[in-house]
Amino acid sequence: MVVLGIDPGSITAGYAVIESSGRKFSYIDSGIMKYGHIKNFIDRLGLIYRSCHELVVRYNPDEIAVESLVYVKGTTSIMKLAQARGAMLAAFMEKYQEKVFEYSPNLVKSSVTGYGHLGKDGVQKSLSMIFGERIFKTNDESDALAIALCHGLCKGTDTGLNLKMTSKKRSMKDLARCKRVV
């Protein structure tokens, strides 16, 4: 199964593509998508949509994993992130309805490293242990790889929530079923 992992962003977003076969994972590609060169935020949304559509055309993933919204201090920031994430999801939904899953940042970290509050360096170290030494352009790229891996690890459990499910269906038992690699 080919998984596309997305770390959403309104200025820079990360993507990663892995292949999973049971509990074996292979790195295919990863990178970042930059949107900050377009100053007007509203004008960025079309580029965000197109770049995500191009990813699914290029890699033809079986499923897509996206990080859920995170808490940010400013309301403007969270609104822009939500709109950018919406443009990304719209690009995926045409072909991937019921094949797009979301994961909280803490679940991603916990499934990849065993600790849900580990910093970015620890996540990158775990990813290098699993996929071999990697030099990531940004944290967005490594986060996207962690999100894709989290989906591969959590697939087949109730932890891999597709976007139709509500947060009330999540539990600590779900987290326990999602085994980490390292």
Task: Please state, in angstroms and rounded to a whole number, the distance separating the CA atoms of residues 80 and 35.
Answer: 12
57: left (phi over 0), alpha (psi -120 to 50) or beta: alpha
Do β-strands 100-103 and 24-34 pair in parallel, antiparallel, or remain unpaired?
unpaired
Task: Please state, in angstroms and rounded to a whole number, the distance separating the CA atoms of residues 91 and 108.
Answer: 23
Task: Identify whether the C-beta of residue 181 lies closer than 8 Å to the C-beta of residue 52.
Answer: no
Q: Which residues are catalytic?
A: 7, 67, 140
Adjacent-strand bridge partners of 29: 17
Task: Please state, in angstroms and rounded to a whole number, the distance separating the CA atoms of residues 2 and 61.
Answer: 5
